[in-house]
Amino acid sequence: MSKKSRLHIPRPTARPGDKPDFSYLELAPAGSVDKPATDARPRDLEHLAGGLVRVLDDDHKAKGPWNPNFDANHLQIGLRWMLLNRVFDERMWQIQRQGRISFYMQATGEEAVAIAQAMALRPGDMCFPSYRSQGLYMYRGVSLVDMMCQCLSNTRDMCQGRQLPIMYHSKSGNVFSISGNLGTQYPHAVGWAMASAIKGEDHIAASWVGDGSTAESDFHHALTFAAVYQAPVILNVVNNQWAISTFQGTAGGERRPFAARGLGLGIPGIRVDGNDLLAVYSVTLWAAERARRGGGPTLIELVTYRGGAHSTSDDPSKYRPKDEWAAFPLGDPIERLKQHMIAEGHWSDAKHESLIDELKSEVTTAWKEAQKYGTMTEGPWLDPGTMFEDVYAEMPRNLESQRRRMYEIERGD
């Protein structure tokens, strides 16, 4: 203690040129955290917020009470979708670098979050995603062509050219529209879940924010409402260690884990290895069952690492060590599941490579198809008059007249 008051300025353990240092990250061996009953009282669950639920051990075995005991088929489903997410992201990144879309965001290193949670939820459950949740849309039936057309703002764009690339939506897949403003979807998920309970349905809601967005007021509004009304909702914090250039300590993660954010409100928190598909699946299923049985909300912190840049507009080599991801103690979710499947005798390097080739070719086929609906440089083109639609349920007179004027100006009248 110093004799004078002083500010604490959070600093990451390593900046460019430094040796990566994850000593701040509290770990636990696979299988070491108990799995309480889903109807346990919140006070008996508090320890879960400070632990780390892991199933896949460093020797690639699945261990402990949270092991969902996936068969070979389920393991392959998980691996396939995570790989598709990554292959798609890699291709879209290249496409952006070639100047053929304006912007992109990858989920590299975080694929287990969207895929495992999509596998654990029921189709009628509503997802309120953040901008790195593309795996949810894929898993819930949005075609690669449709996702690419959204990124291209072309004539098949689900958003009709109104949104930045990656801001998808899927009404039929029960995945909400991505806003671009951070954390705003959290109270929506709670309200949706409240409505589900009001209507007497057993659908639950789930939402995702990053560690950085937990500092937004909406995060706290949502937690309060979820706790007060015991809404059937799963609130996920994807702690990928970085919010653009600020590390998770800048969002307040230095002293208590994000999983503990709800404890003061009586919301159970579970900290889980976010790069372990089996653990994420199991924890999500547990929280979903708890919510469906009237047990209320659960806050899940998924500990992972943002393997890539924040977006195509970002250069992480300016603020963190280049080899930091390689040093991340929880590794790469795809590699870990692959090694587990090989250890279990369900998989091989050859099969893995052949699956990657298959997915790459699926993505290439989709890209060829998507471009037929228009690119940034070649038609067909969206009618700019569509920009005046859907502002209101019915177009008011002022927008009708502005649309007429826009056409006149464009025609050179």
Partner 1 sequence: MARMNMIEAIRSAHDVMMDRDPSVIVLGEDVGYFGGVFRCTDGLQRKFGEHRVIDAPISEGGIIGAAIGMGVNGLRPIAEIQFADYIYPGFDQIVSELARLRYRSSGEFFSPVTIRTPCGGGIRGGQTHSQSPEGIFTHVTGIKTVMPSNPYDAKGLLISAIESDDPVVFFEPKRIYNGPFDGDPEKPAVSWGSHPKGEVPEGYYTVPMGQADIAQAGEELTIITYGTLVHVAIAAAKATGVDCEVIDVRTLAPLDVQTLAESVRKTGRCMVAHEATRFGGFGAELVASVQKECFYHLEAPIGRVAGWDTPYPHAFEWQYFPGLKRMSAGIRSVMEAG
Binding site for partner 1 (CB under 8 A): 126, 128, 158-160, 162-163, 167, 169-171, 176-177, 179, 181, 184, 186-196, 198-199, 205, 217-218, 221-222, 224-225, 228-229, 389-393, 396-398
What would the two tokens of residue 327 be?
């040093």
Pairing relationship of beta strands 246-247 and 242-243 according to DSSP bridges: antiparallel
CA distances (Å), 103 to each of 41, 96, 150, 222, 243, in order? Answer: 45, 6, 11, 30, 18
Residues 6+ apart with CB under 8 A from 353: none
Nearer to partner 1, 323 or 400 (CB): 400
What would the two tokens of residue 304 be?
């992972």
Nearer to partner 1, 61 or 221 (CB): 221
* CA atoms of 235 and 228, how far apart (whole Å): 15
DSSP one-letter string for 184-205:
THHHHHHHHHHHHHHTT----E
Nearer to partner 1, 10 or 294 (CB): 294
Residues 6+ apart with CB under 8 A from 254: 10, 24, 248
First and final CA of the chain: distance in angstroms?
74
* CA atoms of 300 and 237, how far apart (whole Å): 6
Least distance to partner 1, CB of residue 166, Å:
13
Type of residue numbered 353: E
Nearer to partner 1, 1 or 393 (CB): 393
Least distance to partner 1, CB of residue 246, Å:
21
DSSP-assigned beta bridge partners for residue 68: none
Nearer to partner 1, 134 or 163 (CB): 163
* CA atoms of 256 and 236, how far apart (whole Å): 16
Least distance to partner 1, CB of residue 396, Å:
4
Nearer to partner 1, 217 or 365 (CB): 217
Nearer to partner 1, 77 or 195 (CB): 195
Least distance to partner 1, CB of residue 148, Å:
17
Least distance to partner 1, CB of residue 196, Å:
6
Least distance to partner 1, CB of residue 145, Å:
17
Cis peptide before 129, with omega less than 30 degrees from 0?
no
Nearer to partner 1, 10 or 380 (CB): 380
- Contact assessment for residue 307 and residue 241, using Cβ atoms and an 8 Å cutoff: no
Least distance to partner 1, CB of residue 400, Å:
10
Type of residue numbered 10: P
Nearer to partner 1, 65 or 396 (CB): 396
Task: Residue 149: name the closest of 78, 95, 83 by CA.
Answer: 95
Least distance to partner 1, CB of residue 209, Å:
13
Nearer to partner 1, 72 or 391 (CB): 391
* CA atoms of 382 and 167, how far apart (whole Å): 18
Least distance to partner 1, CB of residue 380, Å:
17
CA distances (Å), 26 to each of 50, 253, 255, 397, in order? Answer: 9, 12, 11, 60
CA distances (Å), 216 to each of 48, 119, 222, in order? Answer: 24, 28, 10
Least distance to partner 1, CB of residue 128, Å:
8
Nearer to partner 1, 83 or 126 (CB): 126
* CA atoms of 198 and 217, how far apart (whole Å): 25
CA distances (Å), 18 to each of 11, 204, 354, in order? Answer: 13, 44, 37
Least distance to partner 1, CB of residue 104, Å:
18
